[in-house]
């Protein structure tokens, strides 16, 4: 929830990716909390892997958007 609120409340280029990252993380966390896939402990590892991939992509896209900003001065 913090990622979503922080990205929503401030303007940063590429913040849509950070909001997307927060939503994916929230959904995966709710799925674990609700014990949706009762298949075993491998689900937590898979969800953490998915979260790391989405978070990494979000940071790459945000850095690309910030890099395109004009230099100050």
56 secondary structure, DSSP code: H
Give pLDDT tens digits along the chain (73 positions): 777 787 778 777 778 888 888 898 888 888 878 876 666 677 888 888 888 998 899 889 888 888 887 877 6
> Residues 8-38, buried b or exposed e (16+ Cβ, 10 A)?
eeeeeebbebbbbbbebbeebeeeeeeeeee
Identify the pLDDT of residue 8. Answer: 79
């Amino acid at each position: 929830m913090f990622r979503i609120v922080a990205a929503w409340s401030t303007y940063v280029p590429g913040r849509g990716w950070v909001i997307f990252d927060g939503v994916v993380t929230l959904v995966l966390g709710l799925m674990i909390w609700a014990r949706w896939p009762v298949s075993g402990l491998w689900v937590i590892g898979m969800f953490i892997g998915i979260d790391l991939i989405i978070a990494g992509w979000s940071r790459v896209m945000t850095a690309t958007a910030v890099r395109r900003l004009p230099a100050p001065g």
